[in-house]
Chain A
């Protein structure tokens, strides 16, 4: 099979997109899990503040999510724009 320049670039973009989203999903997944674990611990210790703690958890997770969204954006750019 003959590999041409344009084909090679597209192949590299596809592999890059897969690796970007795949590896980029690891960090946010683990980080958000840690946040949720600590939020559960805090609610267990102080159940009256459950609402405040859940809100804080969600804000923290949203920030942690951002790198996952960067990966998604890069993957979509590699798939459709580059």
Chain B
């Protein structure tokens, strides 16, 4: 194996490609989300120009939170570009590429989603200036929860960058590392976007009925928590792929099973995450309009979300079969 000790060029190659993917895809979500916030802020200022200062302040705070997803991507991209990897094995190349995929995909949903509470809080302030501080607080809580899928992605990306894979067999561990990145990254898209839908509806609802703030914030948090579960499934599959040791096998099928495990939970989390967010959006919006029936609405929301969640669970089951059974 002496001839194959110098893996530095291939590691640099995949680190650069990974860094490009991380920042390129990572910029998509935050830019769209902040654009939505700014568009709503403009509408709000035209509706109520007298409080344009408050609206402007709220817009900037909301955009700053939405920006954090792409700042995570920037951090990972800079690490991938400039981190030295002395004496790392060839598996590091797969790990760094996986880290880039994970952070790039993972920042999309959170960036777009955080834009909704920001925008709806701005238009709420123009309608109901007395509720400004409640709206800003609720916006911050809601958009902070939206960031969790991006934070999961950053955690997995950092683990892929800094963990030592020196002793693991190259085949099929390379596929496990890329699968780990894809699983958390893709699954974060739906959860981030869905959490944003719920948070946006809660800001709109509080502006409509400021005294409903307690009920609205509670049901928003419950709905967002359920909407996060697909990204937690993604994180779980990533951890299994990162920490399980796989027996050496040069068969293509052994590698492809691990890559497919990541793809299944990753793609499978997108739909349920968005769907759970839609269900929470509907429930939050109508709790604000009809506070007495918050109990009925919460129950229907949870039942609907549970059904919507089922396909994410199927996807996780297929992933676990691919990892542990076949």
Contact = CB atoms under 8 A, between A and B. Distances in A.
Interface stretch (B5-13, B72-80, B137-145, B302-310): B302-310
Interface residues of B, number: 66
Given A18-B261, A44-B293, A37 B312 contact: no
A40 B260 contact: no
A80 B321 CA distance: 10
A32 B268 contact: no
Interface string A10-22: 1111111111011
Interface in A27-79: 27-41, 43-45, 47, 50, 53-54, 57-58, 61-62, 65, 68-69, 71-72, 75-76, 79
A34 B252 contact: no
Contact of A25 (B171, B267, B321): B267
A22 B286 contact: no
Interface in B255-312: 255-257, 259-279, 281-283, 285-287, 289-290, 292-293, 296-297, 299-301, 303-305, 307-312
B31 interface: no
A26 to B, nearest CB: 3
A71 B261 CA distance: 15
Contact of A11 (B253, B269, B308): B253
A19 B267 contact: yes
B304 A32 contact: yes
B322 interface: yes
Contacts of A45: 286, 290
A57 B275 CA distance: 14
Contacts of A36: 275, 278-279, 282-283, 300-301, 303-305, 307-308
Contacts of B265: 22
Contacts of B3: none
Contact of A18 (B270, B299, B319): B319
A79 B326 contact: yes
Contacts of B230: 29
B252 A8 contact: yes
B190 interface: yes
B264 A21 contact: yes
Given A14-B260, A15-B256, 19 more contacts: A3-B252, A15-B260, A15-B263, A18-B322, A21-B318, A22-B264, A22-B265, A22-B267, A25-B314, A26-B267, A28-B308, A34-B275, A35-B304, A36-B301, A36-B305, A37-B279, A43-B286, A61-B308, A72-B318
Interface of B: 171, 186, 190, 194, 230, 250-253, 255-257, 259-279, 281-283, 285-287, 289-290, 292-293, 296-297, 299-301, 303-305, 307-312, 314-315, 317-319, 321-322, 325-326
26 contacts: A1-B252, A13-B253, A14-B257, A14-B260, A15-B260, A17-B318, A22-B268, A24-B268, A25-B315, A28-B275, A29-B309, A33-B194, A33-B276, A34-B275, A36-B301, A36-B305, A40-B285, A40-B286, A43-B293, A47-B292, A50-B296, A53-B300, A54-B299, A61-B307, A68-B314, A79-B321
Interface of A: 1-3, 7-8, 10-19, 21-41, 43-45, 47, 50, 53-54, 57-58, 61-62, 65, 68-69, 71-72, 75-76, 79-80
